[in-house]
Amino acid sequence: MYVHVTFIKKWDICAGNAILKALGGHMTTLKGEEIDYSGTPDNPGGLLATMSVDHDAVVKKLPARDANKN
């Protein structure tokens, strides 16, 4: 499991997300939303990447965050 709580650019995470998905893992924002690579290059919502755990259960355990705050 990897948690990134601050602002990050999508180009910094897209390759890792592709590899993680190919291996059966999952990457979302901290709120559990899929990361949309179209439009803005910014991903202000942080990210959660998991492998071999229930991703949704981990999302539910994370504290609520305002995506506009770093």
Q: Tell me the CATH number at 13.
A: 3.40.190.80
Question: Which residues pair with residue 26 across a beta bridge?
Answer: 50
Residue 25's nearest CA partner among 48, 52, 5 is 52
- 66 part of a folded domain: no
How do strand 2-4 and strand 47-50 relate by DSSP bridges?
Answer: antiparallel
Distance between start and end Cα atoms, the chain: 21
The pair phi, psi for residue 46, each rounded to 5°, is 65, -175
- Judge whether 42 is annotated as a binding position: no
69 or 35, greater pLDDT = 35
- pLDDT (tens digit, 9 = 90+) per residue, 12-51? 999 999 999 999 999 999 999 999 999 899 998 899 999 9
69 part of a folded domain:
no
Is residue 43 within 8 A of residue 9, CB to CB? The reply is: yes
67 domain residue, yes or no:
no
Q: Is residue 28 part of a domain?
A: yes
Residue 70 lies in a domain: no
This prediction has a pTM of 0.84
**Of 65 and 19, more confident:** 19
Number of structural domains (the chain) is 1
